[in-house]
Structure 1
Amino acid sequence: MGRIGIKQVAALAGVSTATVSRTLAGKPVDAAMRARVEQAVVATGYRPNLAARRLRSRESGTIGLIVADIRNPFFTAVSRAVEDAAFAKGLRVILCNTDENEAKEQMYLRLMEEERVTGAIFAPTRASADALARTRLTFPLVLIDRAAPASQHDAVVLDNAGACAELVRHLHMARGYTRIAGFFGAASTTGRERREGYERAMCELGLEPDGCFLDHGNGFAEAAVDEILRRPARPEALIASNGVMLVQMTRALLKAGLAIPRDIGIAGFDDEPWTEIVGGGLTVMAQPTEEIGRSALQMLLDRCANPDSAARRLVLQARCIAR
């Protein structure tokens, strides 16, 4: 199939190419004609040329950033990195928080359409990631933290399986733990990949995996800790697969009167200041949040400039901070 051009959009909308150009440039156009042009853009998939035009003209000058949970220290840091990089390029950022809710994700993707953003950076749930191949957007999309399978979209992700496997090896080989339980976010591909790395490392070390998925939201991590403490033979150490889960589970352990690491060990992701002072310091996998944010924005700009190039996936490494 040949590349869709402005003439095809004009023909489908029943307007002149000049009207299409004026609509895409955000200039005054009859409302009915504008609606027909925008519908034709979606129907024909004229996204790449539209995005490149806006980037060159700066008549939009706005990008979207859709994150799963702004309370998660990882997304807070990545959002700051994206905003800093965007500001340096003269771009504005619309920040949206989805709470790992698919309906909110779809609502914010529609908002990006309505705002006619140059492009968007998106951390999708597993459900939305799987559906992206069937979703036609009028702007380019770069995925962060979570990538869609066989995606046509660029992505910046972590080696999640490798990072969690390294955490398991540290807890066993450096600290001597043998009963290590893992807890992973149920809504994201990140949680699934980290569980795969956890189970692989446990099996390689001859240990029995004890992992489960937790739903997103208040109370689930605390309930998991309560269940652990009721076991006749509770785990010696816990792994939390994201920063929000780590702080919730640590709080629950301390509230139960347990000393870390004397009574039970806990480790997880994201090098936040508080992790240095609990129990003499928690071992964490530090994610390269600044590099993720900067790389995602640059990928988005590259995509606008080169709309027909093959999708890229940048895989970054976490750093183990042993305490």
Structure 2
Amino acid sequence: MTVGIRDVARAAGVSTATVSRALGKGPVSDALREQVEAAVRATGYRPNLSARRLRSQSAQTIGLIVADIRNPFFTAVSRAVEDAAYQAGMRLILCNTGEDAEREALYLRLMQEERVTGVVFAPTRRTAERLRPEDFPFPLVLIDRTGPPGGHDSVVLDNVAAGAALVDHLVEQGHSRIAGLFGSTSSTAEERRDGYLAAMHRHGLEPQMRHVLPDAEPAQGEVARWLAEPGRPEALVVSNGLILMGAVRAARAA
């Protein structure tokens, strides 16, 4: 038998309106809230989250849209966001886009339909360039990617400095034929490429640079071809974890 809010009200000895206020964090005393929560446990009542969402216009849910959960960086991000949502008593919707702008648009529409409280998003360059705050009924925070100035808040590294630091380290180790392999879809890869180029020019070295789809398989194929060519690179800078996986596989097989 389905347990409803009237059953909870009867068990608690209060009205259904009081039960709704107590469960919805409305204005009731602590003692009354505890009384209602005890009745919920006793009856096994489970609130109708869909109905509550329609009434409140908020799902108490965070949306997380990442490029690829297989990327170790986004694996760590997903765990951190989920932990934070759990601590706040919220749910999480996780979506993988595969760096596909059409899937990004689909998932952003889904977030609006689900009436999420907010979204953490790692967009492709194509999508990031056209994001406007007024297009969304929820706050949107970009992670690992940037959008137009003055648009959305973002949490990013100094990717230009990071790319340059990798080159500096390799030069200190005595390397000079330093190649760069960068993803072709994100602002992060662009910025790390810019740092690589700036450092190579600063050291008076000739850049060797290629672009691939940001995944292990295309990276592995590109590096395998590169290593089979005359004058192959002796060190490699890459722009993300999946490209690194493919590069390592190719190097081990060479």
Give the TM-score category using the shorter length.
0.7 to 0.9
Amino acid at match of 1:95: L
**CA offset at residue 216 of structure 1?**
2.9
2:249 is aligned, of 247, 251, 254, to 251
Q: Distance in 2 between matches of 1:135 and 1:100?
A: 23
Amino acid at match of 2:54: G
TM-aligned CA distance change 1:87 to 1:101, over 3 Å = same
User: Which residue of structure 2 lines up, in the alignment, with residue 222 of structure 1?
Assistant: 220
User: Which residue of structure 1 lines up, in the alignment, with residue 37 of structure 2?
Assistant: none
User: Which residue of structure 1 lines up, in the alignment, with residue 142 of structure 2?
Assistant: 143
Q: Distance in 2 between matches of 1:60 and 1:95?
A: 15
User: Are 2:51 and 1:26 equivalent residues in the alignment?
Assistant: no
Segment of structure 1 superposing worse, 120-129 or 135-144: 135-144
**CA offset at residue 210 of structure 1?**
1.3
User: Which residue of structure 2 lines up, in the alignment, with residue 67 of structure 1?
Assistant: 66
**CA offset at residue 24 of structure 1?**
10
Q: What does 1:233-252 align with in structure 2 at a 5 Å threshold? A: 233-252=231-250
Question: Pairwise CA RMSD of aligned residues?
Answer: 1.9
Q: 8 Å contact 2:185–2:214 — kept in the other structure?
A: yes
Q: 8 Å contact 2:101–2:124 — kept in the other structure?
A: yes
Q: Distance in 2 between matches of 1:197 and 1:24?
A: 49
User: Are 2:187 and 1:189 equivalent residues in the alignment?
Assistant: yes
Number of residue pairs the alignment of both structures matches:
204
1:187-227 Cα shifts (integer Å, max 9, x gaps): 10000000000000111111111122211345311221122
1:92-123 Cα shifts (integer Å, max 9, x gaps): 11000000000110000000011000110000
The TM-score, its normalising length taken from structure 2, stands at 0.76
Q: Which runs of 4+ in 1 moved over 3 A?
A: none
Structure 1: which 5+ runs fail to align? Answer: 1-22, 28-52, 257-323
Q: State the identity %.
A: 54
The structure with more radius of gyration? 2
SS at match of 1:219: helix
Amino acid at match of 1:242: N
**CA offset at residue 231 of structure 1?**
1.8
**CA offset at residue 151 of structure 1?**
4.1
Of structures 1 and 2, the one with the larger relative CO (CA 8 A, separation 6+) is: 1
Q: 8 Å contact 2:133–2:151 — kept in the other structure?
A: no
Structure 2: which 5+ runs fail to align? Answer: 1-50
